[in-house]
């Protein structure tokens, strides 16, 4: 998942208080969409989401306070999504393309084609980064004029974070990897963590990276300093955590088997606090000032909004 920084694309739109979502502590999850959802990204007032392999497919946008869904990408298996204040970017696993469209919809621009099942995707000021099932990481210029190969042997990049002049990604069975923005040999973000296991997701808050991973026996949420180094397990013994997001005080995560949304304190770690049990299989999570946003990708699924406490 990706959350747009508060100062990114600030000239794109002016958001009044009526469009800012606020969640009442203790409230129940609120369904924002009418269709299943997969990956998501946030900007100041909207949720952008792909539908993965659900029957409807494609990608869309919905206001954080709910309303009509705006279609951004047609049918087909779209995996990852990122947004930069002006455009939304989608990795289309079925077509092997990286697509861009305006946040208000309109014509699509293909930034890269003939990719091998691209999945995780992220942006910075000038580039769009993604990884594919051929275990490469690549980037394309936002003007569509250049595509660059950054790394091979990079595992399957399921989720990507671009920060501190580095590309960091959840590489599945290859762990959590990182390299400079211009490419190079990927290195482990947690070389001393022998039980990091299969890393499903990676996110950033402040100077720390957070990963959701499945170890040898159970799952865990792990904090890692950007650039790599010693890791700190915030909570262990989870059933199957697949996504994580964080704010100043907590790391929030979804467990796909238990169908739960939970949080764990960043200072002091566990135990985890269960916030909600979802009606279907949760896949992704994002956080803003007062709310959590969770995707559920089965046929009865949707994007849900729920309070952080």
CA dist 268 and 266 (Å) reads 6
Please give the C-alpha separations between residue 233 and each of 216, 220, 238, in angstroms, as whole numbers.
14, 7, 12
pLDDT of residue 2: 53
In this prediction the pTM is: 0.91
Query: Which domains, and CATH codes, for the chain?
Result: 30-303 (2.120.10.30)
pLDDT of residue 5: 41
pLDDT of residue 53: 65
pLDDT of residue 24: 84
pLDDT of residue 12: 32
pLDDT of residue 35: 79
- Which parts of the chain have pLDDT scores under 50? 4-18
Tokens of 129: 């980064």
pLDDT of residue 81: 96
């Amino acid at each position: 998942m990706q959350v747009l920084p508060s100062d990114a694309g600030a000239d794109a739109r002016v958001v009044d208080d009526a469009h800012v979502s606020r969640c009442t502590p203790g409230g129940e999850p609120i369904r924002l969409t009418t269709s299943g959802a997969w990956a998501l990204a946030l900007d100041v007032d909207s949720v952008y989401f792909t539908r993965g392999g659900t029957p409807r497919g494609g990608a869309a946008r919905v206001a954080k306070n709910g309303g009509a869904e705006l279609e951004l990408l047609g049918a087909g298996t779209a995996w990852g999504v990122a947004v930069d204040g002006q455009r939304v970017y989608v990795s289309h696993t079925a077509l092997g393309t990286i697509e861009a469209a305006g946040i208000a919809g309109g014509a699509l621009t293909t930034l890269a084609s003939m990719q091998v099942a691209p999945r995780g995707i992220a942006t910075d000021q000038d580039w769009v980064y993604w990884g594919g099932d051929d275990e490469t990481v690549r980037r394309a210029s936002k003007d569509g004029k250049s595509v660059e190969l950054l790394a091979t042997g990079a595992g399957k990049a399921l989720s990507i974070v671009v920060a501190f002049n580095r590309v960091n990604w959840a590489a599945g069975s290859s762990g959590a990897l990182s390299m400079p923005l211009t490419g190079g040999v990927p290195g482990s973000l947690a070389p001393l963590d022998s039980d990091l296991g299969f890393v499903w997701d990676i996110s950033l808050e402040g100077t720390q990276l957070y990963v959701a991973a499945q170890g040898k026996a159970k799952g865990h949420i792990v904090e890692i300093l950007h650039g790599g180094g010693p890791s700190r397990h915030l909570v262990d013994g989870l059933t199957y955590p697949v996504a994580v997001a964080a704010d100043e005080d907590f790391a929030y995560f979804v467990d796909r088997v238990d169908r739960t949304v939970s949080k764990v304190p960043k200072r002091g770690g566990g135990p985890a606090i269960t916030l909600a049990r979802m009606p279907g299989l949760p896949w992704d999570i994002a956080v803003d000032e007062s709310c959590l946003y969770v995707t559920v990708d089965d046929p009865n699924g949707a994007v849900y909004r729920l309070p952080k406490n």
